[in-house]
């Protein structure tokens, strides 16, 4: 990766240079002040860079080489499902019929797009084991907010006001953040010895105030990569209290075609199309967070909903946007959702099919368990033990506590040293329950050779640390920059280029 000093596009700017050639107006060129009152106009144009096209291309190509990406190497970032992004999906998303379709196009002239959305809804409904799907939420956390607003609407419709949402101490940070944003209070539920929900604690939390329990948000398999065997009992307890059961679908990649959230008793599920369904992560989006719900939640789904209407006068079936949903929570965003993401994920589902999706989950689970076993057989078995020792699903969590106690090496140091070996580190310090946590998710699109190479790198780093832990403590060495001062960036934030 490039080690030259970083210069911004603004620092490459020279007055008078440019790339764009715009069309001639071809209409009378009256002074702007005659068309818009002067007090509404700006004095000088915004200070955008002045750079010609060759230098723009060179600038961003150079920047790109200062990024590590999935196409360059193994990216076992737990909870993020960094699986291969098939390039076919980019090609079909870019077809003009998709890419240049205006979102306000009359539904009669956007039948292909609406049919695609309808088919994707049906596919996701089958995968989740729930009857209805809304594609509207823009990402997982947006789906969570939707699910909580649906819960609110469901209870309000029954004349109930409930104030508390239960979430395990292992939950993703978005869960409690969404709870607050939706106007609820979070109640934490403890984790038991096997890494599942502590049933006694759950019962106690419910019994404290059963009428106030609005919802339980759960990830299953959870963020420890473990399937909660008590899920049927959990569902029964929540439903008996009158709450809804919410499924955080970040870990769906473990179970496709094997089990379904709807069959487990969940009422509301969000799916991350940028995880299980191969939408590229783009350095932090775009994604999409569709929600699947049970019949009792269906009336409250966001507006508009994509539907198929019966044939009219021999024409049809006709796909349409249904705005006539009197109990709907309303809109969560503009237009119909991240359609370009839907195209990619639908292409992915078509490519894999029923068997392929099940095989993806099977291989993801096999890969995770194999890597877990490979690591346990080496130095990691002692230095980085598995936090909960049982078969995992698609990911597993190690604890760097012994490494820290015995060699003084933090999980962060290990992660930074991995950068020198050409790997993206696993997720670190999450879940919070596990001390010095390291969360590893290999996904199904990695070969045995990749997994072996990663295990070998961990072994080498641990061996090196036994003789000289200082090496890892100051890693990385080979990256465009070394460890950065993050405290300064927060204490004295510089968040834009200063101009004189």
Partner 1 sequence: MLAAIGVDSVDELFEQIPGPLRLGRPLELPAGMSEAEVYERLAALAARNADAEGQVCFVGAGMYDHYVPAIVDAIASRSEFLTPYTPYQPEISQGGLQVMFEFQTAMSELTGLPVSNAGLYEGPSSVASAGYLAMGATKRRKFVVSRGVHPHSRETLATYSVGYGAEVVEVGLAGGVTDAAALAAAVDGETAAVILQSPNFLGAVEDVEALGAAAKEHGALLVVACDPMTLGILKPPGECGADIALGEGQPLGNRLDFGGPSFGFFCATAAQIRRMPGRIAGETEDVDGRRGFVLALQTREQHIRREKATNNICTAQALNALGAMVHLAWLGREGFRELGELLVRRTAYARERLAAVEGVELLHDAPVVREFAVRLDAPVDRVLDRVAERGIAAGYALGREYPEYEGALLVAITERRTREQIDALAEALEAAVAAGRGAKLADSASKAPRGATEGAVA
Cα 160 versus chain centre, distance:
32
447 binds partner 1 (CB under 8 A): no
Closest CB to partner 1 among residues 139, 462: 139
Closest contact distance (angstroms) between CB of 242 and partner 1 is 19
Question: Crossing angle of helices 339-377/448-467, nearest 10°?
Answer: 50
Binding track over 167-196 against partner 1, x by CB under 8 A? ------xx-xxxxxxxx--x----------
Binding track over 134-173 against partner 1, x by CB under 8 A? ----xxxxx-xx--xx--xx-------------------x
Residue given tokens 């099919």 in the structure block: 353
463 binds partner 1 (CB under 8 A): no
- Let me know: does 218 contact 361? Beta carbons within 8 Å: no
61 binds partner 1 (CB under 8 A): yes
Closest contact distance (angstroms) between CB of 200 and partner 1 is 20
Q: For residue 405, what are the contacts with CB-CB under 8 A and spacing of at least 6?
A: none
131 binds partner 1 (CB under 8 A): no
CA–CA distances in Å: residue 316 to residues 110, 123, 143: 13, 21, 32
Binding track over 213-242 against partner 1, x by CB under 8 A? -------------xx-x-xx----------
448 binds partner 1 (CB under 8 A): yes
Size, binding site for partner 1 by CB under 8 A: 200
120 binds partner 1 (CB under 8 A): no
- Let me know: does 335 contact 303? Beta carbons within 8 Å: no
| Burial class of residue 488, CB neighbours in 10 A (0-12, 13-18, 19+) | exposed
Calpha distance 115→348 (Å, rounded):
16
Helix (H, G, I), strand (E, B), or coil: what is residue 148?
A: helix
Binding residue for partner 1 (CB under 8 A) from 105, 163, 405, 463? 105
Helix (H, G, I), strand (E, B), or coil: what is residue 150?
A: helix
66 binds partner 1 (CB under 8 A): yes
Binders of partner 1 among 355-384, rule CB under 8 A?
355-358, 362, 365-366, 369-370, 372-374, 377
- Quick one: which segment of 66-74, 237-245, 403-411, 459-467 binds partner 1 (CB under 8 A)? 66-74
Helix (H, G, I), strand (E, B), or coil: what is residue 115?
A: helix
Binding residue for partner 1 (CB under 8 A) from 193, 324, 467, 496? 496
Binding residue for partner 1 (CB under 8 A) from 74, 76, 85, 461? 85
Task: Please tell me the number of Cα atoms within 13 Å of 344 on its side-chain side.
Answer: 27
- Give the tokens for residue 41: 């106009």
Binding residue for partner 1 (CB under 8 A) from 41, 204, 236, 456? 41
Closest contact distance (angstroms) between CB of 206 and partner 1 is 19
- Let me know: does 214 contact 243? Beta carbons within 8 Å: yes
245 binds partner 1 (CB under 8 A): no
278 binds partner 1 (CB under 8 A): no
Closest contact distance (angstroms) between CB of 46 and partner 1 is 4
| Burial class of residue 98, CB neighbours in 10 A (0-12, 13-18, 19+) | middle
Closest CB to partner 1 among residues 63, 307: 63
Q: Which helix (H) or strand (E) segment is 438 a member of?
A: strand 437-440
6 binds partner 1 (CB under 8 A): yes
23 binds partner 1 (CB under 8 A): yes
- In degrees rounded to 5, what are phi and psi of residue 142? -70, -35
- Let me know: does 207 contact 241? Beta carbons within 8 Å: no
419 binds partner 1 (CB under 8 A): yes
49 binds partner 1 (CB under 8 A): yes
- Quick one: which segment of 202-210, 378-386, 465-473, 487-495 binds partner 1 (CB under 8 A)? 487-495
- Quick one: which segment of 111-119, 236-244, 399-407, 457-465 binds partner 1 (CB under 8 A)? 111-119
Binding residue for partner 1 (CB under 8 A) from 131, 242, 469, 476? 476
Buried b (16+ CB within 10 A) or exposed e, 217-250: bbbbbbbbbbbbebbeebbebbeebbbbbbbbbb
Q: What is the largest CA-CA distance in the chain?
A: 81
**The dihedral sign for the CA sequence 222, 224, 226, 229:** negative
Closest contact distance (angstroms) between CB of 79 and partner 1 is 10
- Let me know: does 425 contact 419? Beta carbons within 8 Å: yes
Binders of partner 1 among 195-214, rule CB under 8 A?
none
352 binds partner 1 (CB under 8 A): yes
453 binds partner 1 (CB under 8 A): no
Closest CB to partner 1 among residues 31, 467: 31
Q: For residue 81, what are the contacts with CB-CB under 8 A and spacing of at least 6?
A: 250, 253, 272, 275, 276, 394, 441, 443
Binders of partner 1 among 309-328, rule CB under 8 A?
312-313, 315, 323
């Amino acid at each position: 990766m490039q080690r030259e000093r970083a210069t911004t596009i603004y620092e490459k700017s020279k007055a008078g240079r440019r790339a764009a050639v715009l069309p001639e107006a071809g209409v009378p060129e009256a002074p702007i002040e005659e068309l818009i009152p002067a007090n509404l106009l700006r004095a000088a144009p915004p200070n955008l860079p002045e750079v010609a096209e060759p230098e723009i291309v060179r600038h961003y190509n150079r920047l790109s080489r200062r990024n590590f990406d999935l196409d360059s190497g193994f990216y076992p970032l737990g909870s993020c499902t960094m699986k291969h992004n098939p390039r076919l999906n980019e090609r079909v998303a870019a077809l003009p019929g998709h890419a240049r379709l205006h979102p306000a196009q009359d539904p009669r002239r956007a039948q292909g797009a609406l049919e695609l959305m309808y088919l994707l809804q049906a596919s996701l409904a089958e995968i989740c084991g729930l009857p209805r799907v809304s594609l509207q939420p823009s990402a997982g956390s947006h789906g969570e907010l939707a699910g909580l607003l649906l819960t609110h609407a469901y209870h309000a419709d029954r004349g109930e006001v409930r104030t508390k949402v239960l979430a395990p101490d292992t939950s993703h940070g978005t869960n409690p953040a969404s709870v607050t944003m939706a106007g609820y209070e979070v109640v934490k539920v403890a984790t038991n010895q096997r890494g599942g929900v502590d049933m006694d604690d759950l019962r106690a939390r419910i019994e404290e105030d059963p009428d106030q329990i609005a919802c339980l948000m759960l990830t299953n398999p959870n963020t420890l990569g473990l399937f909660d065997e008590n899920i049927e009992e959990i569902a029964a307890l929540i439903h008996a209290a009158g709450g809804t059961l919410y499924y955080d679908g970040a870990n769906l990649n473990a179970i496709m075609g094997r089990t379904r959230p709807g069959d487990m008793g969940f009422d509301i599920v969000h799916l991350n199309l940028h995880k299980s369904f191969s939408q590229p992560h783009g350095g932090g989006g775009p994604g999409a967070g569709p929600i699947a719900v049970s019949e009792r939640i269906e009336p409250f789904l966001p507006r508009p909903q994509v539907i198929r209407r019966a044939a009219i006068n021999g024409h049809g079936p006709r796909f349409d946007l249904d705005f006539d949903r009197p109990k709907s929570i309303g809109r969560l965003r503009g237009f119909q959702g991240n359609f370009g993401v839907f195209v990619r994920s639908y292409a992915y589902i078509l490519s894999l099919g029923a068997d392929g999706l099940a095989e993806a989950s099977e291989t993801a689970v096999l890969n995770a368990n194999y890597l877990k076993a490979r690591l346990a057989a080496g130095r990691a078995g002692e230095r980085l033990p598995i936090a909960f020792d049982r078969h995992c699903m698609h990911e597993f969590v190690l604890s760097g506590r012994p490494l820290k106690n015995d060699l003084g090496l933090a999980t962060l140091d290990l992660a930074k040293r991995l950068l020198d070996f050409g790997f993206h580190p696993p997720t670190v310090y999450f879940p919070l329950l596990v001390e010095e946590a390291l969360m590893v998710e290999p996904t199904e699109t990695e070969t045995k050779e990749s997994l072996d190479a990663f295990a070998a790198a961990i072994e080498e780093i641990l061996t090196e640390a036994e003789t000289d832990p200082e090496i890892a403590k100051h890693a990385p060495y080979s990256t465009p920059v070394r460890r950065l001062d993050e405290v300064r960036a927060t204490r004295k934030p510089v968040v834009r280029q200063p101009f004189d």
